[in-house]
Amino acid sequence: MSSTHGGRPPAVDKALAWPGVQALIDCHGRNLVLDALRAGLQQWREGHIGDEQTLVAEVQASIEQVLAPAFKPVFNLTGTVIHTNLGRAPLPPEAINAIAAVASGASNLEYDLHSGQRGDRDAHVEDWICRLTGAEAATVVNNNAAAVLLVLNALALRREVIVSRGELIEIGGSFRLPDIMARAGCKLHEVGSTNRTHGHDYADAISSRTALLLKAHTSNYVVQGFTRSLSEAELATIAHQHDLPLVVDLGSGSLIDMQRLGLPFEPVVREVLAQGVDVVTFSGDKLLGGPQAGIIAGRADLISRIRKSPLKRALRCDKLTLAALSAVLRLYANPDTLAQRIPALRLLSRSQTDIEQTVAALLTPLTSWAGDPIAVDACEVLSQIGSGSQPLDRLPSAALRLRSQHTNKRARSRQLRELARQLRQLPVPVIGRIADDSLLLDCRCVEEPQALATQWLNHRFNAEPLA
């Protein structure tokens, strides 16, 4: 690049004394300003900057960039409602208020206000989990992967765990049941085949080394065709005949019947426990609609052993999670209002007509953002629940569709990727998905289109960005 200004830059000490730089130091501290100033002086040396005013403006801009939050809200227009990479379940206001109430000061996190003695942090959620699931006892850890690890470690250390080959699951992000089992210090005893496992497979595998039977909900895939797996009730019978516990990893674990909301069937925790299952584990931020957490519920004697494990201490939840979870559980007191009050359930049960209205409201703002070279229209799409829930079931939804007018397929594809990129660069990034030669923006998760509309009206797609 050509040099617009000649000359050597000022010495660092001299530039530090400039009033503009001093004002930045007062505001942001010396370290940050010094780093930015050195970078600015380097640009001066290379000929891109040549005067005090430009240098100060450059230093200020670079400090603002460093200080801008990197972790921020986005618009989830991917069509996957409980999207692990986008933070899973949105929290209801009750949970956010509960977090705020305990975040800034002391609380009775592990303090019994009645006796004045040390208390247990599980006390804030255990009664509600039991009430909603019928379990005798419950405990909570950081996430469901931690819950599985803890249960296996506490109940089956150095012993065998029997699992069907059809359930050796891998959840995204390197959660593989055989690996978790090894880390938990137990030995995996696989039985049956990928598609068929019978009762005698389990019974034959049981020995004096067996600690428990494990069933994992195959949440992100389906084994179809010539298949056989045992129900929880059948497995519980076999386990109990041998005086062993049956543990079920439910994954999503719904507290209510999803079909009542017009959604695909998902196992209900209470019904699973009622079939004789001794311990279940499930996530707090999947279908439950709460914060990231792993809930362990079941027989009191087993929960007590799990709670005493040193791993429980390492995997426990913080006060913010417990505050949010306890607020969300209380919303389940009234099942009739859940579909409205729990955002994840509200979004999942939104009607296509309602989503179409959001799409209609956003069509003009998006057309204005995209400009002439891009064709924008509305179309029908299918959303997904996400996080492994019912992978084959789709929810009828509506989307904004952007298409490139190029005749060349590669040029179209490049332009779609550029559209997606510039949507991600907006102040509140917009995340869509590219499919069928279009960029689709599924509006299921947009409940208040105004902020999105304003953002599109205030910015423009740059069809020919600088290389």
User: Tokens 């618009």 correspond to what residue?
Assistant: 75
By beta carbon distance, the residue nearest ligand PLP is: 251
Q: Judged by CB under 6 A, does residue 210 bind ligand PLP?
A: no
Q: Judged by CB under 6 A, does residue 175 bind ligand PLP?
A: yes
Q: Judged by CB under 6 A, does residue 291 bind ligand PLP?
A: no
Nearer to ligand PLP, 321 or 349 (CB): 321
Question: Least distance from C-beta 150 to ligand PLP, angstroms?
Answer: 12
Beta-carbon neighbour count of residue 252 at 10 Å? 24
**Phi and psi, residue 175, nearest 5°:** -95, 100
Nearer to ligand PLP, 210 or 252 (CB): 252
One residue of 58, 249, 278, 442 binding ligand PLP per CB under 6 A: 249
Number of residues that bind ligand PLP (CB under 6 A): 17
One residue of 388, 402, 432, 461 binding ligand PLP per CB under 6 A: 388
Q: Judged by CB under 6 A, does residue 164 bind ligand PLP?
A: no
Q: Judged by CB under 6 A, does residue 145 bind ligand PLP?
A: yes
Question: Least distance from C-beta 466 to ligand PLP, angstroms?
Answer: 40
Q: Judged by CB under 6 A, does residue 294 bind ligand PLP?
A: yes
**Which range touches ligand PLP (CB under 6 A), out of 45-53, 142-150, 295-303, 438-446?**
142-150
User: Tokens 């059948």 correspond to what residue?
Assistant: 234
**Which range touches ligand PLP (CB under 6 A), out of 144-152, 182-190, 255-263, 331-339?**
144-152
Structure tokens given for 130: 């039991």
Return the sign of the alpha-carbon dihedral for residues 56, 58, 61, 67: negative
Q: Judged by CB under 6 A, does residue 219 bind ligand PLP?
A: yes
One residue of 15, 95, 137, 171 binding ligand PLP per CB under 6 A: 171
Question: Least distance from C-beta 391 to ligand PLP, angstroms?
Answer: 10
List strand residue ranges (DSSP E) for 47-134, in order: 75-76
One residue of 144, 358, 384, 415 binding ligand PLP per CB under 6 A: 144
Q: Judged by CB under 6 A, does residue 80 bind ligand PLP?
A: no
For residue 151, give the nearest of 25, 309, 321, 262 by alpha carbon. Answer: 309
Question: Least distance from C-beta 199 to ligand PLP, angstroms?
Answer: 22
Measured CA angle at 88 (ends 401, 345), to 5 deg: 80
Nearer to ligand PLP, 219 or 358 (CB): 219
Q: Judged by CB under 6 A, does residue 298 bind ligand PLP?
A: no
Distance CA 202, CA 230 (A): 10
DSSP for 136-166, written as a single string = SEEEEESSHHHHHHHHHHHHHTTSEEEEEGG
Structure tokens given for 165: 């080959």
Question: Least distance from C-beta 316 to ligand PLP, angstroms?
Answer: 15
User: Tokens 């409205």 correspond to what residue?
Assistant: 340
For residue 215, give the nearest of 154, 273, 291, 141 by alpha carbon. Answer: 273
- Cβ neighbors of 326 (< 8 A, separation 6 or more) are 98, 124, 125, 128
**Which range touches ligand PLP (CB under 6 A), out of 35-43, 138-146, 405-413, 450-458?**
138-146
For residue 62, give the nearest of 76, 83, 48, 72 by alpha carbon. Answer: 48
Question: Least distance from C-beta 219 to ligand PLP, angstroms?
Answer: 4
Structure tokens given for 178: 């055989």
- Characterize 396-428 residue by residue with b for buried, 16 or more Cβ atoms within 10 angstroms of its Cβ, and e for exposed: ebbbbbbbbeeeeeeebeebbebbbebbeebee
Nearer to ligand PLP, 251 or 432 (CB): 251
Q: Judged by CB under 6 A, does residue 325 bind ligand PLP?
A: no
Long-range CB pairs of 19-27, under 8 A, 24+ apart, other chains included: 20/52, 20/53, 20/56, 21/56, 21/59, 24/56, 24/59, 24/60, 24/63
- Cβ neighbors of 7 (< 8 A, separation 6 or more) are 50
Q: Judged by CB under 6 A, does residue 217 bind ligand PLP?
A: yes
For residue 253, give the nearest of 156, 388, 445 by alpha carbon. Answer: 388
**Which range touches ligand PLP (CB under 6 A), out of 17-25, 31-39, 182-190, 214-222?**
214-222
**Which range touches ligand PLP (CB under 6 A), out of 215-223, 229-237, 358-366, 425-433?**
215-223
Q: Judged by CB under 6 A, does residue 60 bind ligand PLP?
A: no
Nearer to ligand PLP, 37 or 149 (CB): 149
User: Which residues lie near ligand PLP (CB under 6 A)?
Assistant: 143-145, 148, 169, 171, 175, 216-217, 219, 249, 251-252, 283, 294, 387-388
